[in-house]
C-alpha cells in the first residue's frame, strides 16, 4: 500500500497523476529530455531517437495486447503503413501542398490510414482470439510487406529496394538534423504516453481492460465487443502509424525488410520485458531492447579487438540475447521490469520494515 496518498474526492482519485511523486517524476523526465536535446552527444541522440520511435509503436502494441488482451504479432505492418504513407504522400502532393505544411498534413494522414488498416486487420479478432489471432495478425504482416515489395506498386513504394524519404518541414523550419528530430520524437513520445495514461481513465479504456480480463463477462455487462475490439485495434494501429511516420522522417530511406516479422517480435518483446498493460512498461522495455544489442556490440568490440573475421558472429549473438531476454523474462519475471520497479519503490516506501 502506498502511504501519503489520501484522496478526498473521486476527481482527485481519477487524475492522470494521482500523487505528487508522479508529478515529480514527470517533471524530472521532461527536464532530462530537455537536457539531452541541448547537451547530449550525437551518439546518445541517435540511440534516443531510435528508442523514441520504437517506444510509440510499443505503446501501440501495449494498447491492443497489454490492455485489451488481443495477441498481435503483426504490428510491424502498421508501422510500415505509416512510414510508406508519409513517403507516398510527400511524393504525390509535392507542389500541391506547400512544403511548410506538408508534414502537418502527412502525419495525421499516415495515422488515419494506419488506423483504417488496423480496423481491417482487427476484423478477425471478432471471431477468434488467443493464438488464432496471433497467427492472423502474423499473416497480415506477411501480406502487407509482400504487397509493398510487389513490382506492380513499385512506382509508389519503390519495391524491394525501398524509397527515399524527405525530412519534415514545419512552416519553413526543416528538421534536417538528428537533434531537431529528437525534439519532435521526444515531444510526440511524451504526448503518446500521456494520451494512453489518460485513455485508461475513460470509459473506452475501462472497456478494453474488461475485455482483457474476461471477454464474455464484458459482453454480458453491455460492452460491445465489436466496437471496442476494433477501437482498440484502431488506436494501437494509429500509434504504430505515428511511429512509422517518424521512422520515415528520421531515416533517409526506408526498406520493406525493415518492417518484417523481426520488428513485430521486437515490439512484443519490448512490451513483455517492460511489463504488459502498464503505462511505463514500454519505456523500460524499449530502453532494454535497444540498449542490449548496443552493449553487446561494444563488449564484443572490446573482446575481439575489432577483428574483422569475428564480426560475423556479432549478429547471431545479438539474436540469441534478444531471444533469451524474452524467454528469461517470461520464466522469471512475467510482469516485466515495471513490476520490479514497483517492488523496489514499495520496499523503499516501507523501509525499514517489511521488504
Partner 1 sequence: MGQFLQFAINGLMSGAIYALIAVGIVSVFKATKVVNFAHGYVIMVGAYFYYTFAVLIPGAEWAPAWLASWQPGWLMEMREGLPMFSPMGAVLDWVQNLPRILFGLAGAVLANAALGLLIERTLMRPLMGQSVFAMIMITVGLISILAGAAQLVWTADADFVPHIAPNAPVRFEMFGTTIFLFGADIVNMIVALLIFGAIVAMVRFTKSGVAIRATAEDQSTAYSMGISVPKVFSRAWMLAAATGAIAGAILATRNGISPSLGLFGFSVLAIVLMGGLDSYVGVFIAALAVGVLEAMTQWQLGGDWAEIVPYVAVLVVILIRPHGLFGQKEVERI
Out of 16, 199, 261, 292, the only residue in the binding site for partner 1 (CB under 8 A) is 261
Among 23, 25, 43, 146, contact with partner 1 (rule: CB under 8 A): 146
Residue 296 C-beta: closest distance to partner 1, Å: 11
Q: How many CB atoms lie within 10 A of CB 5?
A: 11
Which of 190, 326 has the CB closer to partner 1?
326
Burial class from Cβ neighbours inside 10 Å (0-12, 13-18, 19+) for residue 238 reads: buried
**Beta-bridge mates of residue 174:** 169
Between CA 322 and CA 273 the distance in angstroms is 10
109 counts as binding partner 1 under rule CB under 8 A? no
CB of 67 to partner 1, least distance (A): 13
Strand-pair category, 253-254 with 163-164 = antiparallel
Cell numbers linked to 30? 521532461
Q: Does 305 bind partner 1 (CB under 8 A)?
A: no
Rounded to the nearest 10°, the torsion over CA 340, 345, 347, 351 is 160
What single-letter DSSP state applies at residue 123?
Answer: G
Q: Which of 265, 240, 228, 264 is nearest to 125 (CA)?
A: 228
| 335 in contact with partner 1 (CB under 8 A) | no
What is the spatial distance between Cα 14 and Cα 178, in angstroms, rounded to a whole number?
38
Site for partner 1 contains 318 (CB under 8 A): yes
d(CA 323, CA 204): 34
310 binds partner 1 (CB under 8 A): no
203 binds partner 1 (CB under 8 A): no
Which of the ranges 4-12, 163-171, 251-259, 263-271 carries the binding residues for partner 1, by CB under 8 A? 263-271
Among 28, 226, 315, 340, binds partner 1 (CB under 8 A): 315
Q: Which is nearer to partner 1, 96 or 308 (CB)?
A: 308
Determine if 313 is a binding residue for partner 1 (CB under 8 A): yes
Write out the three cell numbers for 245. Answer: 511516420
127 near partner 1 (CB under 8 A): yes
Nearer to partner 1, 37 or 326 (CB): 326
| Contact flag: residue 303 with partner 1 (CB under 8 A) | no
Instruction: Find the part of the chain contacting partner 1 (CB under 8 A) among 75-83, 98-106, 223-231, 312-320.
Output: 312-320
Alpha-carbon distance values, 15 to 10, 141, 282 (Å): 9, 37, 21
CB 115 within 8 A of CB 51: no
Q: Are 245 and 83 in contact (CB under 8 A)?
A: yes
245 binds partner 1, rule: CB under 8 A: no
> Mind giving me the DSSP string for 53-85?
HHHHHHHHHIIIIIIT----S-THHHHHHHHHH
* Of the residues 123, 167, 292, 296, which one makes contact with partner 1 according to CB under 8 A: 123
In terms of CB distance, is 21 or 318 closer to partner 1?
Answer: 318
- The Cα–Cα gap between 194 and 97 comes to 31
Is 258 a binding residue for partner 1 by CB under 8 A? The answer is no
Indicate whether 291 belongs to the interface with partner 1 (CB under 8 A). no
Q: How far is the CB of 182 from partner 1 (least distance, A)?
A: 29
**Is residue 324 part of the contact set for partner 1 (CB under 8 A)?**
yes
Residues binding partner 1 (CB under 8 A): 71, 73, 123-124, 127-128, 130-132, 134-136, 138-140, 142-143, 146, 149-150, 214, 216-217, 261, 265, 268-269, 272, 312-313, 315-327, 330-331, 334
Amino acid at each position: 500500500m502506498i502511504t501519503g496518498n489520501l484522496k478526498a474526492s473521486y476527481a482527485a482519485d481519477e487524475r492522470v497523476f494521482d500523487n505528487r511523486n508522479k508529478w515529480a517524476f514527470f517533471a524530472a523526465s521532461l527536464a532530462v529530455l530537455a537536457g539531452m536535446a541541448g547537451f547530449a552527444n550525437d551518439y546518445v541522440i541517435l540511440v534516443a531517437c531510435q528508442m523514441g520511435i520504437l517506444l510509440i509503436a510499443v505503446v501501440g502494441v501495449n494498447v491492443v495486447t497489454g490492455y485489451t488482451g488481443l495477441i498481435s504479432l503483426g504490428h510491424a505492418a502498421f508501422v510500415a503503413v505509416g512510414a510508406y504513407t508519409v513517403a507516398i504522400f510527400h511524393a504525390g502532393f509535392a507542389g500541391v501542398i506547400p512544403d511548410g505544411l506538408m508534414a502537418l498534413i502527412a502525419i495525421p494522414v499516415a495515422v488515419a490510414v494506419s488506423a483504417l488498416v488496423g480496423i481491417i486487420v482487427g476484423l478477425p479478432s471478432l471471431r477468434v482470439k488467443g493464438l488464432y489471432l496471433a497467427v492472423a495478425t502474423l499473416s497480415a504482416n506477411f501480406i502487407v510487406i509482400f504487397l509493398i515489395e510487389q513490382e506492380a506498386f513499385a512506382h509508389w513504394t519503390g519495391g524491394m529496394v525501398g524509397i527515399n524519404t524527405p525530412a519534415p518541414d514545419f512552416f519553413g523550419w526543416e528538421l534536417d538534423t538528428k537533434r531537431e528530430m529528437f525534439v519532435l520524437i521526444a515531444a510526440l513520445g511524451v504526448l503518446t504516453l500521456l494520451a494512453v495514461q489518460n485513455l485508461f481513465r475513460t470509459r473506452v479504456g475501462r472497456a478494453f481492460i474488461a475485455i482483457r480480463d474476461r471477454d464474455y463477462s464484458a459482453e454480458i455487462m453491455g460492452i460491445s465487443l465489436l466496437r471496442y475490439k476494433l477501437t482498440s485495434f484502431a488506436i494501437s494501429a494509429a500509434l504504430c502509424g505515428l511511429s512509422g511516420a517518424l521512422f520515415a522522417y528520421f531515416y533517409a530511406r526506408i526498406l520493406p525488410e525493415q518492417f518484417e516479422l523481426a520488428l513485430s517480435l521486437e515490439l512484443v518483446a519490448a512490451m513483455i520485458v517492460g511489463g504488459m498493460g502498464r503505462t511505463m512498461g514500454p519505456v523500460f522495455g524499449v530502453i532494454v531492447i535497444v540498449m542490449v544489442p548496443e552493449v553487446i556490440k561494444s563488449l564484443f568490440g572490446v573482446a575481439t579487438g575489432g577483428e574483422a573475421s569475428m564480426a560475423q558472429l556479432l549478429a547471431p549473438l545479438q539474436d540469441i540475447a534478444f531471444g533469451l531476454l524474452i524467454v528469461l523474462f517470461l520464466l522469471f519475471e512475467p510482469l516485466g521490469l515495471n513490476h520490479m520497479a514497483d517492488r523496489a519503490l514499495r520496499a523503499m516506501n516501507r523501509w525499514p520494515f517489511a521488504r
